[in-house]
Structure 1
Amino acid sequence: MLTEREVLAAILKTTRDKASSNIESISREARVPRAIVLEILNRLHESGFLMIDGDEVMVDLEQRLKIAVKSIGLGSDVEKIADLLTWSEFEQFSRKSLELNGFRATANFRFKWFGKRWEVDLIGVKKPLVISADCKHWRRGWSGSASIETARSQVKRTRALADASRRIRGRLNIIEWEYAYFVPVVLSLHPSQYKFYDKTPIVPILQISDFLQNLIVHLDDVAHFYIQYV
C-alpha cells in the first residue's frame, strides 16, 4: 500500500506540467524499483487510471483527479497531494462535468448587489436550475468546521445572486425563463465529514455528475432560492 501510494504521488508530480511521463521518471521520483513500478502501472492501466504506450505514461484531467483521490484513500497526506494539483485543474473538471450534464457553465462570475461586489467560482445554468458552486481545492482543517463556514458563505453568495438575478438575467443566460431555482453547492477534492450543512450540499469533485443527474428529483431536499420573473 505504501509503495503504491508513493507511485501515485510520483505520477501526479511528474505529469503536473504535461500530460505524460515515463516509467523511469516515475520510478526515480517514487524511489521504487522499476519492475515494481511497472507492475503497479499495469494495474492502474487496467483499472482506467492511466494509459501506457511503451515507456510513456499518459494521464488526462479526470485521471489525475482519480489518482489523487485514490492516493488519499491509501493514506497519503491530503495537503501534499492537493499541492500536486492546480486550482485550474479542479475548476476545469468541475466546469467540464457541468457541461457534460447539459449545463452552460461560467467561471468566476462577478456581480454587484446592494453596493457590494460578489464573485461565484462557477455557475451552471440548465432550465430551471442555476448552480452556484464554490470550488474548494484544499486547506488543512477543511473537513470540519471550515467546510461549514464555506457552506454558510456560499449560501450568502447564492442568495445575493438570486436576488440580483432580475437585473442580470441576460448575463446569466436565463432571459427567457419564467422562474429559476438557485442552488448553492460546495465542491471539494476530499470529502468533508458533512455531506450537507443546513441542506447545502458539500460534494466531492468525482461525485459531481451523480449529484447533477439527481438534483432535480431531490430539489426539495437541498437548499435553494426560488425566483419568479413573470
Structure 2
Amino acid sequence: MAFLPRLRIMLGLLEGTKSGKIAMSLKELSERTGLPPSLLREHLRFLQGEGLVKLIDEDVVLEVTRIDLAIKALEAGLDVERVSNLLDWREFEHVTAQCLDMNQYEVIEHLIFKCQRRRYEVDVVGLRKPLILCIDCKHWSYNRGARLRSAVKEHVERTRSLSKCMLKIPKLANRLSGWNKCFIIPTLVTLRESFMIVYEAVPIVPIRKLNSFLQELEAYLESILHFKVEIDHEDKSTNIVGEPYPFPFKWPEK
C-alpha cells in the first residue's frame, strides 16, 4: 500500500528537521524510515509533486514549513500524538488549533489581551456557536498534583477575564457578531498523557484524545466547568451569569 510509506517519510522528515534544518540526505531519510533508496525516491517524487519536498541530487529539501508538513501528515492519517511529540511548543499549539479547525471551530491562536490593566495570553481559542473553548497547551505531565492545581486555577481565572473583556478584544469581538450569549469552557490540552481527566470540573485532554473530545463534547457538558456569558453588542458589554459551574446543555436547533 503506497499510503503507508508516504506516512513514514513524512514522519521521518519531521524527525530529521526537529533541530531546525530544512534538508537531509537520502541516506539519512532511508535509515529513519527503513525504506530502500529506490522505493524512497519513488514516493519522494510523489511528495515533490504535492509541493512538500524537492529532490536535489542526494538531498531532500523541505518546500513547506514543518507546521504545514505536520498538518499534511495529520490529514493523511498520521497519529496526532506522534506528530505532536516532534513539535516545539509553538508548533504544538498550532496542531491543537488545526484539530479545532478540522472540527468546524473558528480558531484564534496566541490571543493576547488586557483586562482590568492586567495582560493575559491564551494559546488557542475555538469558537462554534454558542461554545467558546479557551485552551491552554501544556507539554508537561499532569501527574504532579501541585503543578496541575496551579495550572487549572490560573487558567480558570484567565478564562474569567476573557469572559469579562471579550468585546474589548478586536480579534474576538469581530467573530461574535450575532451572538447574544455564549458558554466559555476552560480546557487544558497536554502532550504526554494517555487518558482524559476532569480536574475540579476542568477537562484535561491529551492531544491524542482531542479529536474525540471535540466530537463527543456534548456528552461532557453536564460535568465540566463553564462561564455562561450574556453579550450586549449595543453597550459593548458582557455579563457573567452566576459562577462557573457544570451545566445541563441542549444544542440549538439547526
TM-score (norm 2): 0.62
Distance 1:20 1:151, change over 3 A: farther
Do the aligned residues in 2 keep the contact of 1:144 with 1:193 (CA within 8 Å)?
A: no
1:54 is paired with a residue whose SS is: helix
Paired residue for 2:15?
13
Larger Rg over CA atoms? 2
* Letter in structure 1 aligned against 2:88: T
Deviation of 1:156 (Å):
1.1
* Letter in structure 2 aligned against 1:100: M
User: In the alignment, does 2:163 pair up with 1:162?
Assistant: yes
Between Structure 1 and Structure 2, the one with more helix by share is 1
Structure 2 residues not aligned, in runs of 5+? 1-10, 53-68, 233-254
Deviation of 1:228 (Å):
1.4
Distance 1:55 1:229, change over 3 A: closer
Alpha-carbon distance in structure 1 between the residues aligned to 2:214 and 2:80:
22
Deviation of 1:25 (Å):
0.5
Deviation of 1:53 (Å):
4.9
2:119 is paired with a residue whose SS is: strand
User: In the alignment, does 2:50 pair up with 1:25?
Assistant: no
After superposition, the C-alpha distances for 1:38-80 in whole angstroms (9 at most, x for unaligned) are: 49xx9xxxxxxxxx55374979415489568459xxxxxxxxx
Alpha-carbon distance in structure 1 between the residues aligned to 2:80 and 2:97:
18
Aligned length: 195
Paired residue for 1:75?
none
Deviation of 1:103 (Å):
1.1
Deviation of 1:88 (Å):
2.8
Paired residue for 1:199?
201
Structure 1 residues not aligned, in runs of 5+? 1-8, 43-51, 72-80
2:92 is paired with a residue whose SS is: helix
State which of 116, 120, 123 in structure 2 corresponds to 1:121: 123
2:136 is paired with a residue whose SS is: strand
Alpha-carbon distance in structure 2 between the residues aligned to 1:86 and 1:38:
27
Deviation of 1:105 (Å):
0.5
Alpha-carbon distance in structure 1 between the residues aligned to 2:27 and 2:143:
36
Deviation of 1:193 (Å):
6.9
Identity score, percent: 25
Higher relative contact order (CA 8 A, sep 6+): 1
State which of 31, 42, 66 in structure 2 corresponds to 1:54: 42
Alpha-carbon distance in structure 1 between the residues aligned to 2:143 and 2:199:
12
Do the aligned residues in 2 keep the contact of 1:20 with 1:56 (CA within 8 Å)?
A: no
TM-score (norm 1): 0.68
Deviation of 1:167 (Å):
3.9
1:117 is paired with a residue whose SS is: strand
Distance 1:53 1:92, change over 3 A: farther
RMSD: 3.6
Paired residue for 1:48?
none
Paired residue for 2:218?
216
